[in-house]
Structure 1
Amino acid sequence: MKKIFFLILISLLCCKMYSQVKTIHVYVALCDNENQGIVPVPAKLGNGKDPKHNLYWGAGYGVKSFFKFKAKDWKLVKDFEIDDPVLLDRVLFKHSTKKIYLLADAYDGAKIQTCIEDFLLASNSQNPISIEVNSETLKFGGDADLLSYIGHDGLMEFNVDITYKKEIIKKREVIVLACYSQKYFSKEIEHAKANPILWTTHLMAPEAYTLKSAIDGWIKNETGKQIEERAAQTYHAYQKCGIKGARNLFTTGFKK
């Protein structure tokens, strides 16, 4: 009898672990011709105060548009009403077959430093965010399982001022899609005690197809190297840059 009870208990625990909700939080600094040190893009795409048309948000390969219209395995759960001078838009998606939620935030392009600092703090398990959906409390910010920054590499131009926690309970996994992100974000990600599963070594277009591909690998519990290869294949497919160049663009982990 004790053996049967033990087996039932183990089975229930396994089911609970299997059904556990996972969360992803994506921080997007809107492309901004005026306030960021970028090669200018068409004015409609580079207005950092216009999420609807922005290159990294509302355009075809922007995070909101791509996950809403092109990522068939993700469904829009909520498009939030936002009244904030810094955070201009927020959307919540759910994976179509798994209990995984993705929250994406669009920051005013002029507030890119705030966006990056918020991402880094969350990577250090700070600033948790709770969202109620269908009587369920979802954990994002510093409580998310996976965090990502998308946008211009502002750390090329400014330093952040962050007090990192020295002790954390869980090491957060992060994706940083910005130009030369390994070089410029390494010190901060190391201080945040986060695990960089994907970032970049050269100039790149931080568009949502690469993010989606990397997330696909993360969902499948792939290694950093597998995610790196997946990202390279996807980037080449969209950019036609050559697979060798794409493989040289992405990397995982810290420099050895």
Structure 2
Amino acid sequence: MKPLFLLIHVLLALSTLSSHAAPKQIRVFVALCDNKSQGIIPVGEKIGNGDTPDANLYWGCSDGFGSLFPRSKLWKVTDSRKDVSPTILRRLSLHHTSADLDLVADAYRGSQIQQCLKDFESAAASGKFDLVAFIGHNGLMDFQLPPPPITKGNKTDVAVLCCLSDKYFSPRLTAAGCRPILMTSQLMYPGAFLLQAAIESWHSGASTASIRSAAAAAYAKNQHISRKAASGVFANLTPSPQPSPQPSSPASSPQPSCPPPSRMP
């Protein structure tokens, strides 16, 4: 009886530990839209001012992260900070209302998009987070960055919501051990509703195909286009994408400019 009692005790202890597992950690980097410093088709002066997050297209507007996530019934704000540094103008911490997920998002000054992308890739390569995401303009169309560092054993999931992110970011991130779960293959509008849809699918253990489908449904609804057209915006990712040659330098050929959304928020 004693061995049986000990076994039951151990199983109960393991069950308790399992029920108190640490929340999954999500890290989000938002480069504020900036007409002056980014290679984009200019949007309205107010929403395209990268120094004013509360009115910015990617943060303060209705589809911006800093507006959409706090309004959502799926998330509860646990902390909100302003002017974290000269580079980071806003920081939001949130917890999912029905799943054990913690999320921290930073809004970077628009002119500091290069630093934002460096920090995003460093976080993605660090192995410290379960999911790391970027929202904003594809700065790799405008400038080059050294490849992210490689951390042994890194298996971080990543989502990059900017124009043509699969071409520019997937090779770099897979080489650092990351697993892309949502990337784009066309010019597009990176509204935060895409990340929200992707997270809901991701945390349930869905495949990359299901995550893509969830994002496409959200994009079709927001942009008033067909599901088929919306699906084409997002890359068809294999479960284990392999690194491929780096894309050519932005200086070697003209690059398209990211367009404003077809439906302004």
Shorter chain as denominator, the TM-score bin is 0.7 to 0.9
Structure 2 length as normaliser, TM-score? 0.85
- TM-score w.r.t. length of structure 1: 0.88
Aligned residue for 1:153?
138
Q: Please tell me whether residue 242 in structure 1 is matched to residue 226 in structure 2.
A: yes
Q: Which amino acid aligns with 2:7?
A: F
Does 2:171 align with 1:170? Answer: no
Which of 174, 195, 211 is the matching residue for 1:190?
174
| Contact 2:133-2:160 at 8 Å conserved across structures | yes
Distance 2:221 2:196 in 1: 13
Task: Tell me, in whole angstroms, the C-alpha distance in 2 between the residues paired with 1:104 and 1:176.
Answer: 14
Match of 1:200 among 184, 188, 192: 184
Q: In 2, distance between residues paired with 1:178 and 1:85?
A: 24
| Residues 105-156 of structure 1 deviation map (CA, whole Å, 9 limit, x = unaligned) | 000110101101111111111xxxxxxxxxxxxxxxx512110000000111
Confirm or deny: 8 A CA contact 1:121 1:162 kept in the other structure.
no
Contact map agreement 2:154 2:176 (CA 8 A) in 1: no
Counterpart of 1:233? 217
In 2 relative to 1, CA 250–5 (structure 1 residues): closer, same or farther, beyond 3 Å? farther
- As a proportion of its length, which structure holds more strand? 1
Which structure is larger by alpha-carbon Rg, 1 or 2?
Answer: 2
Asked whether the 8 Å contact 1:19–1:99 carries over to 2, the reply is: no
Structure 1's 163 and 58: CA in aligned 2 closer, same or farther, altered over 3 A?
closer
Deviation at 1:161, TM superposition (A): 2.1
Deviation at 1:193, TM superposition (A): 1.3
3-state SS in 1 of match to 2:116? helix
Report the 3-state secondary structure (helix = DSSP H, G, I; strand = E; otherwise coil) of the residue aligned with 2:232.
helix
Q: RMSD over aligned Cα, in angstroms?
A: 1.7
Runs of 4+ aligned structure 1 residues displaced above 6 Å come to none
Q: Match for 1:192: what amino acid?
A: A
- Counterpart amino acid of 1:75? K
Structure 1, unpaired ranges of 5+: 126-141
Q: Distance in 2 between matches of 1:121 and 1:39?
A: 28
Q: Which residue of 2 aligns with 1:129?
A: none
Residue equivalent to 2:207: 223
Question: How far apart, in 2, do the equivalents of 1:39 and 1:47 lie?
Answer: 13
Distance between the aligned counterparts of 2:24 and 2:16, measured in 1? 15
Q: Is 1:211 aligned to 2:195, yes or no?
A: yes
Range moving further from structure 2, 82-91 or 46-55: 82-91
Give the length in aligned residue pairs: 238
Give unpaired runs (5+ residues) of structure 2: 245-265
The match for 2:46 is 44
